[in-house]
Amino acid sequence: MKESLFGFTLEQLSERLEGYGQKRSRAVQVWDWLYRKRATKFSEMVDINQESNQLLANHFVLQSLNEYTRQESTDGTIKFLFKLQDNNLIETVLMKHKFGLSVCVTTQVGCNIGCSFCASGLLVKNRDLSSSEIVEQIMQVQYYLDLAKHDERVSHVVVMGIGEPFDNFTNVVNAIRIIKDHKGLAIPARHITVSTSGLADKIHEFADIDLKVNLAISLHAPTDELRGQIMKINRAFSIEKVMQAVDYYLMKTNRRITLEYILLKDINDHREHALQLIALIGDRRHLTNVNLIPYNPVGEHRQYQRSEHETLLAFYDTLKKQGINCSIRLEHGTDIDAACGQLRSKQIQA
Question: What are the residues whose beta carbons fall under 8 Å from the beta carbon of 190, sequence distance 6 or more?
Answer: 212, 213, 214
Residues 207-266 within binding reach of ligand SF4 (CB under 6 A): none
Smallest separation, CB 258 to ligand SF4 (Å): 15
**Segment near ligand SF4 (CB under 6 A); pick from 7-15, 36-44, 106-114, 298-306:** 106-114
Amino acid at 136: E
Least distance from ligand SF4 to the Cβ atom of residue 22, Å: 40
Contact map string, positions 301 to 330, toward ligand SF4, x by CB under 6 A: ------------------------------
114 binding ligand SF4? (CB under 6 A): yes
How far apart are alpha carbons 62 and 42 in whole angstroms? 8
How many angstroms separate the CA atoms of 295 and 301, rounded? Answer: 11
- In angstroms, the first-to-last Cα distance of the chain is 29
For ligand SF4, which is the closer residue by CB, 26 or 79? 79
Cα separation, 19 vs 39, in Å, equals 23
Check residue 93 for interaction with ligand SF4 (CB under 6 A). no
Residue-wise burial string across 3-15, b where 16 or more C-beta atoms lie within 10 A, e elsewhere = ebbbbbbbeebbe
**Closest listed residue to residue 168, CA positions, set 140, 139, 133, 142:** 133
Residue 281 binds ligand SF4, judged by CB under 6 A:
no
Q: Is 164 in the site for ligand SF4 (CB under 6 A)?
A: yes
Which amino acid, residue 332? H
| Using rule CB under 6 A, residue 111 touches ligand SF4 | yes
Q: Measured between alpha carbons, how far is 214 from 199 in angstroms, rounded to an integer?
A: 16
One of 11, 44, 91, 115 is an active-site residue; which one?
A: 91
Question: Which range in 46-54, 110-118, 277-285, 300-308 contacts ligand SF4 by CB under 6 A?
Answer: 110-118
Residue 122 as a binder of ligand SF4 (CB under 6 A): the answer is no
Among 71, 131, 197, 307, binds ligand SF4 (CB under 6 A): 197
Binding flag, residue 120, ligand SF4 (CB under 6 A): yes
Which of 17, 113, 187, 239 binds ligand SF4 (CB under 6 A)? It is 113
Residue 163 binding ligand SF4, by CB under 6 A: yes
**Active-site residue flag, 340:** yes
Binding-residue total with ligand SF4 (CB under 6 A): 11
C-alpha 218/C-alpha 109 separation (Å) is: 20
Q: Which class for 264: exposed (0-12), middle (13-18), buried (19 or more C-beta within 10 A)?
A: buried
Nearer to ligand SF4, 71 or 196 (CB): 196
Whole-Å CA distances, 213 to 118, 195, 259: 25, 11, 15
Task: Tell me the β-bridge partners of 91.
Answer: 81
CB of 195 to ligand SF4, least distance (A): 8
Which residues are catalytic, by number? 91, 340
Q: Which residues bind ligand SF4 (CB under 6 A)?
A: 111, 113-115, 118, 120-121, 162-164, 197
